Amino acid sequence: MPSTEISTEIPVMYFDTDAASVVHNIVYLRFIETARTLLAIQIGMSFEEIARTNIHPVVTRTEIDYKRPALLGDTVRINGRISEWSGIRFWCTFEVVRPRDGALLVTCKQSLALVQMPQGRPVRLPAGFPENFSLP
């Protein structure tokens, strides 16, 4: 059974930083989306199925707390997991840490839904979710 947890490292690039010499606040959400996508693929999400069904995973809410900044030259680690789920919605929880000194940089919680596009209609989570993300 695939794990509903993910952990991935990303090196900080110039384009991730801003003139305050830290990683820009919006960029952590890009890091988190990368981790979330790798997690979704791990439990069976397929972009072919998404293209075929036009059902897309959609973020419906984000809460993010910034505790300490990452710097140019850092590598950050994003730990994420699916923490709750109901009929049409699931929640993911993330933390961004800096392995070099163990600092906790960011915590984040996101709720997502599967949405039939272009109508924007929510669709029930697949049977067996979260171990199974295969679209019908």
**Cβ atoms within 10 Å of 116's Cβ, excluding its own:** 13
- The sign one gets for the Cα dihedral 24, 17, 106, 12 is positive
Output 40 or 82, the one with its CB closest to a copy of itself.
40
Amino acid of residue 37: T
Distances (CA, A) of 88 to 1, 34, 58, 77: 22, 22, 11, 29
Shortest distance (Å) from residue 38 CB to a copy of itself: 8
Shortest distance (Å) from residue 116 CB to a copy of itself: 11
Among 117, 128, 131, 134, binds a copy of itself (CB under 8 A): 117
Shortest distance (Å) from residue 27 CB to a copy of itself: 8
Query: 4-43 mask for a copy of itself (x: CB under 8 A)?
Result: -------x-xxx-xxxxxx-xxx--xx--xx--xx-----
* Euclidean distance between CA atoms 100 and 61, whole angstroms: 31
Q: Determine if 104 is a binding residue for a copy of itself (CB under 8 A).
A: no
* Euclidean distance between CA atoms 42 and 65, whole angstroms: 26
Q: How many residues bind a copy of itself (CB under 8 A)?
A: 42
Query: 55-74 mask for a copy of itself (x: CB under 8 A)?
Result: -x-xxxxxxxxx-xx-xxx-
Within the chain, what is the greatest distance between any pair of CA atoms? 47
Q: Quote the strand ranges of 42-102, DSSP E.
A: 55-66, 75-85, 90-98
The contact set with a copy of itself (CB under 8 A) reads 11, 13-15, 17-22, 24-26, 29-30, 33-34, 37-38, 46-48, 50-51, 56, 58-66, 68-69, 71-73, 117-118, 120
